[in-house]
């Protein structure tokens, strides 16, 4: 009985090692497949520029938010409206140029015209952005991601950087404690247009 029990435990150990080895091979194959899919999808995001357009949008919204907080900027944030219009991801452009955009623009105009005291000041620029995107003719929409559009985006970024440096009192102060978040946001504005210019799709 003791001999059969030790033989049973020995055979279970061998069987278990075979199962563990098989499971490890399956896990390694699944991990390799996952890595391959992640690499392909990230590569596609970079190659079609969607990641860069989202980065440009996030940087511009970041500067909008900074302008409304204690880190108040002294830059002309109204220039971010055409910048966002030129670098708006395709998904958001389709949404805003559709019925949703029409309704948002209609509500913004009605609120601004008939209830100006109740229309918040911080909603002015987003409302202008929606109106700009909804009412822009196709000729201007087609300027997006062309040489002209990228040069305009770069010009906006350069102007905002120079404006920020002047308002901060020099380059050194622009990189001081209070100027660093704004400077980082402005530098992020340069990434998408520069990549589109030097590494076109």
* pLDDT score for 8: 47
Output the pLDDT for position 38. Answer: 66
Report the C-alpha gap between 160 and 76 in whole angstroms.
Answer: 7
Instruction: State the pLDDT at residue 102.
Output: 94
Ranges under pLDDT 50 in the chain: 1, 3-4, 6-11, 13-14
In angstroms, rounded to a whole number, what is the distance separating the alpha carbons of residues 56 and 85? 11
- pLDDT recorded at residue 44: 56
Residue 178's pLDDT is: 74
How confident is the model at residue 135, as a pLDDT?
A: 92
User: Cα 122 to the chain's mean position, in Å?
Assistant: 21
Cα separation, 92 vs 109, whole angstroms? 20
Q: What is the pLDDT of residue 43?
A: 56
- SS3 assignment, position 149: helix
Return the pLDDT at 11: 47
What is the residue whose two structure tokens read 């980082």?
184
pLDDT at 140: 87
Alpha-carbon radius of gyration of the chain: 27
Let me know: does 102 contact 150? Beta carbons within 8 Å.
no
What integer pLDDT is reported at residue 173 of this predicted model?
81
């Amino acid at each position: 009985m003791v001999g059969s029990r030790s033989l049973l435990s020995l055979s279970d150990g061998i069987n278990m090692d075979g199962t563990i080895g098989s499971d490890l091979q399956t896990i390694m194959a699944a991990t390799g497949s996952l890595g391959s899919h992640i690499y392909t999808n990230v590569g596609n995001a970079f190659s079609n520029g969607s990641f860069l357009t989202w980065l440009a949008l996030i940087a511009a919204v970041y500067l909008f938010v900074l302008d409304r907080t204690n880190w108040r900027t002294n830059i002309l944030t109204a220039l971010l409206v055409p910048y966002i219009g030129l670098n708006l991801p395709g998904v958001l452009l389709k949404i805003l140029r559709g019925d949703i955009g029409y309704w948002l623009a209609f509500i913004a105009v009605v609120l601004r015209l008939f209830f100006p005291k109740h229309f918040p000041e911080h909603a002015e620029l987003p409302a202008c952005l929606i109106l700009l995107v909804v009412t822009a003719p196709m000729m201007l929409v087609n300027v997006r991601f062309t040489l002209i559009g990228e040069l305009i985006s770069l010009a906006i970024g350069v102007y905002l950087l120079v404006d920020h440096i002047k308002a901060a009192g020099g380059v050194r102060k622009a990189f001081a404690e209070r100027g660093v978040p704004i400077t980082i946001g402005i530098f992020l504005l340069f990434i998408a247009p520069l990549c589109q210019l030097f590494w076109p799709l």
